[in-house]
Structure 1
């Protein structure tokens, strides 16, 4: 308690000295607010020490985080399939694209009337790489 009282007295002395050193007219209200807050914080110091274990008073429950990575991967796969189907349509080719992620990225174009052209068009969009496998299949004959 003696230490707290001494700290409070020193805060008041420092606040008074600060007020004497600062210009009066322009910043008088601002300086008084800052000094009052400084003294208030000093007065409340024992309360802060008493509640230093604030988190232990109300233990927070661990909330389970939701993992959206699978949903995101599905959206990315769907967007890639749509982009590749649009690239085929721009070349005048039909076909349904199926993408399988993972090393390697496997792109299969089914129902293409010209599988070689479809494979070339997909390769232009996806680029060259060892991690990309492209398959183009002709239309199925229903058997």
Structure 2
């Protein structure tokens, strides 16, 4: 299961989060753990450089994209390789929506579309779509196969 997708800024403030199958009392732990992980490892990292970690028998992949940190957390079949694919889908969709590497301001301006993209990529903790063009059509509510 894909347990969490979290976006934060470089100051450690959470901008967007989606938890699946994580009890409410554990979410604060995960927020603070991921922000600390980003603070320790993402300062000075290159854009879209992927990092991998594990914690409490779960896998974590994360990256920096402009001023935005992105984290994915998974367990069981969602190992590091699968999470990197999820992370790549998310970063490519965010860049597509924002038309460039996002600043915090651009990210927040495009918040609604980014949420729609995230809903198409991950549904109830399961990976749904990874193709950027398909995701773009789905968030516009256009049919997949156009006549």
TM-score relative to the length of structure 1: 0.24
User: Which one has a larger percent strand, Structure 1 or Structure 2?
Assistant: 2
Considering Cα pairs closer than 8 Å and 6+ residues apart, tell me whether 1 or 2 has the greater RCO. Answer: 2
TM-score relative to the length of structure 2: 0.23
